[in-house]
């Protein structure tokens, strides 16, 4: 039973993480290649605070705020320029994060941070809270999609020049998406820390960023149910099939390529093609 | 509609010069647009019309000079701020958002007060009012029967009208139209030009960039003519087009442009 609880918790954390990127990449069309950095910020914040004696629940808001803050800084530096600039900047920030953390003895350096205290919720309680957070983020995503914010995001993803001519403050909307997405990534990071009770800088590197991006693309960029299913599935595959764990980058990179080439709409797009009336991808549209 | 105080022009273009490196695209151009005007901004290819329009809407910033809307300087303001101040632009290249219906496209423009900030957009869900506005504007431009269809399958004539409806849904004080008739056949062009004239008669101030001189002469009350970035004519369409300098600019252009312009001019002479 412990194994199943742990597996579900892993899935829930991956779903939180993927949904947070979905706000940025799926809804607003901004490609981030360094999303794991923001999960890492949240994870390290929770780890350091936890070891300093903070209770688990109190580390959550701090993790979110710190990750969101860094997100806003990175966003301000890159969102005013062309869209592909964000991809490059976030990738750079990702390498910078791993590089810096590994050199900091106070952050555990190469060895990472271990013996993180217990969250005190019990295994089932922790799992339930993680699932609750997933449900919350999913509900938020569905709500955003239905609101005017979602419609503007959608427009920016398709054609930002036209949105400008419609009087939309495009950089501000992108920044809003980035702030929400990165702070939720920070939240997933705090759960990650307390779930594994050990973290290292490598856990938030480029491979993880590509992994989460492939979850979003595989599920169907922008589709909330699609991304949930894809993240849940892809997060447990390495545990079930050793070979996927060994060739992670190859598998996820290949998946990204295949989906972009043959079904840019992801699994949600495929489902819509085969079952034109499926409510899966229509979610939210009036 | 917002009426500025009686004597202030709605739009003032004041000594605007736009240089790209060594090229002067617009050279010290000034003109006013008054409330209720339907002004034609014309000139041969490469005259600087589109650059002028871009300087007004904020895609490019003038190297020298200023643009005022209702007496208020627009210098340095980004596009979306200018739109929020009451301008709207119907673009030459029609770019509807493809994954929503025609009506939803227009509704997005009609929601400008809800989408002014991300927070306000986040807090607003209802689309009833915007869809109703979209319906009205689509009726105004004559494509209300296509409201629920996808823009992807529409002919250019419908898309040009969709672009116009979207610009109208922003409830502008000043409407800028960049070659709305381009690519339409003569029948479609005539019908859309008539629609534009009607919208102007309902009180909206319009600046129209257009190559189709026949329609421009038919509907515009005033012309501003640019050539090589300079203003060479400004005033009553017939008087302006009778000016030898303006005629020379049209006839002296490249062979293709010249013959085309000549055709139009002959037409106009006949009509006059």
**pLDDT 10s digits, A31-57:** 899 999 999 999 999 999 999 999 999
Mean residue pLDDT of chain B comes to 88
Q: Cα separation of A216 and A256, whole Å?
A: 9
**Distances in Å between the alpha carbon of A1 and those of A130, A195, A196?**
17, 16, 17
Q: Cα separation of B197 and A170, whole Å?
A: 32
Q: Encode pLDDT of A134-158 as tens digits.
A: 999 999 999 999 999 999 999 999 9
In chain A, what residues touch B104 (CB-CB under 8 Å)? 151, 286
In a domain, A224, yes or no: no
Task: Look at residue A83 in the predicted model and tell me its pLDDT.
Answer: 61
Q: Across the interface, do B80 and A159 touch by the CB < 8 Å criterion?
A: no
Q: Across the interface, do A148 and B170 touch by the CB < 8 Å criterion?
A: no
Query: What's the whole-number mean pLDDT along residues A85-96?
Result: 90
pLDDT at residue B252 is higher than 70: no
Q: Cα separation of B193 and B35, whole Å?
A: 20
pLDDT cut 90: percent of chain B above it: 71
Residue B247: which residues within 8 A CB-CB, separation 6 or more? B241, B265
Parallel, antiparallel, or unpaired: how do β-strands B38-42 and B222-227 relate? parallel
Provide the number of structural domains found in chain A.
Answer: 1
In a domain, A198, yes or no: yes
Token output for A16: 């939180």
In a domain, A16, yes or no: yes
Q: Encode pLDDT of B81-94 as tens digits.
A: 999 999 999 988 88
In chain B, what residues touch A269 (CB-CB under 8 Å)? none
- A217: contact with B, CB 8 A cutoff: no
Helix, strand, coil shares, percent, chain A, to 5:
80, 0, 20
Candidate from B79, B114, B127 with C-beta closest to A165: B79
Parallel, antiparallel, or unpaired: how do β-strands B205-209 and B174-178 relate? parallel
pLDDT at residue A63 is higher than 90: yes
Task: Look at residue B269 in the predicted model and tell me its pLDDT.
Answer: 41
Closest residue on chain A to B103 (Cα):
A286
pLDDT at residue B161 is higher than 60: yes
Distance between A188 CA and the closest CA of chain B, angstroms? 23
pLDDT at residue A194 is higher than 70: yes
Task: Look at residue B107 in the predicted model and tell me its pLDDT.
Answer: 96
Bridge partners of residue B174, in order along the sequence: B87, B205
Candidate from B83, B121, B123 with C-beta closest to A166: B83
In chain B, what residues touch A166 (CB-CB under 8 Å)? 83, 108-109, 112, 166, 170
Q: pTM here?
A: 0.87
Domain that holds residue A80: 2-205
In a domain, A160, yes or no: yes
Task: Look at residue B256 in the predicted model and tell me its pLDDT.
Answer: 39
pLDDT at residue B261 is higher than 50: no
pLDDT at residue A284 is higher than 50: no
Q: How many CB pairs under 8 A join A and B?
A: 84
Question: What is the DSSP-derived secondary structure letter of residue B26?
Answer: E
Closest residue on chain B to A164 (Cα):
B80
Task: Look at residue A241 in the predicted model and tell me its pLDDT.
Answer: 77
Task: Look at residue A111 in the predicted model and tell me its pLDDT.
Answer: 84
Q: Cα separation of A200 and A187, whole Å?
A: 17
In chain B, what residues touch A165 (CB-CB under 8 Å)? 57, 79, 83, 88-89, 91
Q: Encode pLDDT of B120-134 as tens digits.
A: 999 999 999 999 999
Candidate from B83, B99, B115 with C-beta closest to A165: B83
Pick from B36, B71, B77: nearest CA to B57: B77
pLDDT cut 90: percent of chain A above it: 61
pLDDT at residue A285 is higher than 70: no
In a domain, A7, yes or no: yes
In chain A, what residues touch B120 (CB-CB under 8 Å)? 148
Task: Look at residue A43 in the predicted model and tell me its pLDDT.
Answer: 96
Per-domain boundaries in chain B? 1-86+172-272, 94-171
The CATH fold assigned to B1-86+172-272 is Rossmann fold (3.40.50)
Query: What's the whole-number mean pLDDT along residues A170-174?
Result: 94
pLDDT at residue B257 is higher than 70: no
In a domain, A103, yes or no: yes
Candidate from A148, A154, A169 with C-beta closest to B114: A148
């Amino acid at each position: 039973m412990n194994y199943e609880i742990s597996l579900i918790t892993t899935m829930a954390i991956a779903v939180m993480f993927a949904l947070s990127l979905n706000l940025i990449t799926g809804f607003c069309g901004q490609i981030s290649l360094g999303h794991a950095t923001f999960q890492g910020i949240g994870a390290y914040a929770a780890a350091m605070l936890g070891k300093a004696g903070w209770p688990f629940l109190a580390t959550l808001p701090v993790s979110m705020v710190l990750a969101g803050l860094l997100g806003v800084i990175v966003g301000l530096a890159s969102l005013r320029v062309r869209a592909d600039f964000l991809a490059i900047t976030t990738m750079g920030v990702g390498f910078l994060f791993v590089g810096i953390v590994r050199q900091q003895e106070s952050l555990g350096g190469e060895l990472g941070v271990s013996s993180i205290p217990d969250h005190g919720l019990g295994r089932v309680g922790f799992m339930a809270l993680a699932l609750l957070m997933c449900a919350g983020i999913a509900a938020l995503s569905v709500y955003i999609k239905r609101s005017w914010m979602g419609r503007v995001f959608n427009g920016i993803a398709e054609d930002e020049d036209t949105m400008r001519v419609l009087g939309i403050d495009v950089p501000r909307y992108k920044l809003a998406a980035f702030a929400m997405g990165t702070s939720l990534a920070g939240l997933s990071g705090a759960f990650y820390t307390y779930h594994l009770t050990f973290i290292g800088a490598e856990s938030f590197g480029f491979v993880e960023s590509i992994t989460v991006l492939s979850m979003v693309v595989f599920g169907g960029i922008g589709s909330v149910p699609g991304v949930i299913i894809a993240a849940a599935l892809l997060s447990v595959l390495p545990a079930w099939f050793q070979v996927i764990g060994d060739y992670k980058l190859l598998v996820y990179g290949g998946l990204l390529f295949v989906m972009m080439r043959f079904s840019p709409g992801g699994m949600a797009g495929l489902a819509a093609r085969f079952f034109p009336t499926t409510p899966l991808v229509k979610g939210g549209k009036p | 509609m917002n009426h500025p105080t009686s004597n202030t022009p709605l739009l003032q273009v004041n000594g605007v010069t736009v240089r790209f490196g060594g090229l002067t695209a617009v050279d010290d151009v000034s003109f006013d647009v008054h409330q209720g005007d339907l002004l034609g901004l014309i000139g041969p290819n490469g005259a600087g019309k589109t650059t002028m329009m871009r300087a007004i809407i904020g895609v490019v910033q003038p190297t020298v000079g200023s643009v005022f809307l209702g007496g208020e300087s627009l210098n340095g303001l980004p596009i979306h701020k200018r739109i929020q101040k009451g301008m709207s632009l119907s673009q030459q290249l029609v770019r509807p958002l493809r994954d929503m219906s025609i009506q939803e496209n227009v509704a997005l423009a009609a929601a400008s007060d809800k989408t002014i900030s991300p927070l306000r957009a986040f807090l607003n869900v209802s689309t009833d009012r915007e869809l109703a506005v979209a319906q009205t504007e689509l009726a105004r431009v004559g494509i209300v029967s296509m409201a629920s269809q996808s823009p992807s399958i529409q002919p250019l004539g419908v898309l040009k009208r969709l672009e116009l409806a979207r610009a109208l849904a922003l409830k502008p004080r000043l409407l800028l139209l960049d070659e709305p008739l381009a690519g339409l056949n003569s029948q479609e062009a005539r019908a859309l030009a008539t629609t534009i004239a009607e919208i102007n008669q309902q009180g909206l101030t319009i600046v129209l960039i257009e190559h189709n001189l026949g329609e421009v002469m038919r509907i515009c009350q005033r012309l501003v003519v640019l050539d090589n970035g300079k203003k060479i004519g400004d005033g009553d369409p017939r008087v302006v087009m009778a000016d030898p300098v303006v005629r020379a600019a049209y006839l002296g252009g490249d062979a293709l442009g010249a013959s085309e312009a000549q055709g139009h001019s002959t037409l106009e002479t006949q009509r006059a």
